[in-house]
Amino acid sequence: MSGHSKWANIKHRKGKQDALKGKLFTKLGRELIVAAKMGGANPEANFRLKIAIQKAKAANMPNDNINRAIQRGAGGQDSNNYEELVYEGYGPGGVAVMINVLTDNRNRTAGEIRHIFSKNGGNMGETGCVGWMFEKKGVLVLEPAKTNLSEDDLILLVVDKGAEDIKFEEEEVQIITAPEEFQAVKEALEKEGLSFTRAELAMIPQNTVEIKDLDQAKLLLRMMDYLEEHDDVQDVYANFDIPDDIMEQLQ
């Protein structure tokens, strides 16, 4: 399982999305503001905004909060000048890490991200040092128990709409698409009455690094926690894989 999927599942099991809901809503609101400011308030004409709205709704962000954020961005009511930046580096065990941020102070954010890397056995690198290891893809995740289609029917449905891959795991079904096919596949699944535990555009690693050392795994997950909790960080992607026996010792 890729680092992106592994980390998403770890967060889900730990309940971090609920524990950090206030902070999560702030980050989602910032993305809504920036998307609306850049492309307008109509999600049908602004794909980035459409994805941001879907992500906010999946996190149970109240509709009033969503609408206020869109209005602030589209109406020019937000005076913050956010920069979109990508930081890259290596975590414990040589794990590649990519971090998307929205910040109004790049010097402050860079220093804080560098500190998180260094105090957890990693190091922040130059732009492009690990980006070539990742590809932007659409990711749609279903729960097998809530999927009323057989595996064969599900495969036929998503492949017909342009999906690149489908993976059946014990806890989830993960469908991978090219970014431009993401919406068509998502809409086809929704027409079948299916809902998603995750539906997003993400950076997917082309290969993974297995972390077999318990201490390295602890450091790595602690670093991921700190990065996720940083106010300016929108998304964190990594290419690690932690074997199940090590994961059991971490829980």
Q: Do 193 and 180 reside in the same domain of the chain?
A: yes
Note whether 7 and 124 are same-domain residues. no
* Calpha distance 40→33 (Å, rounded): 10
- Domain interval for residue 241: 83-132+207-250
Of 130, 86, 55, nearest to 233 by C-alpha is 86
Around Cβ 238, how many Cβ atoms within 10 Å?
27
Exposure string of 52-87, with b = 16+ CB inside 10 Å and e = fewer, is: bbbbbebeebeeeebeebbbbbbeeebeeebeebeb
Query: Where is average pLDDT lowest: 95-104, 126-135, 141-150, 214-223?
Result: 141-150
Domain check: are 172 and 65 in the same one?
Answer: no
pLDDT of 123 reads: 95
The model's pTM: 0.85
Is 21 in the same domain as 55? yes
Q: Where do runs of H (alpha helix) occur along 148-243? A: 151-160, 182-191, 214-229
List the CATH number of the domain containing 69: 1.10.10.200
pLDDT higher than threshold 80 for residue 166: yes
| Residue finishing a domain among 188, 205, 222 | 205
Q: What is the CATH number of the domain that holds 241?
A: 3.30.70.980
Instruction: Give yes or no for a contact between 136 and 203, defined as CB atoms under 8 angstroms apart.
Output: yes
For residues 115 and 13, membership in a common domain is answered with no
The DSSP H or E segment spanning 139 is: strand 134-142
pLDDT over 60 (residue 175): yes
Domains: count for the chain = 3
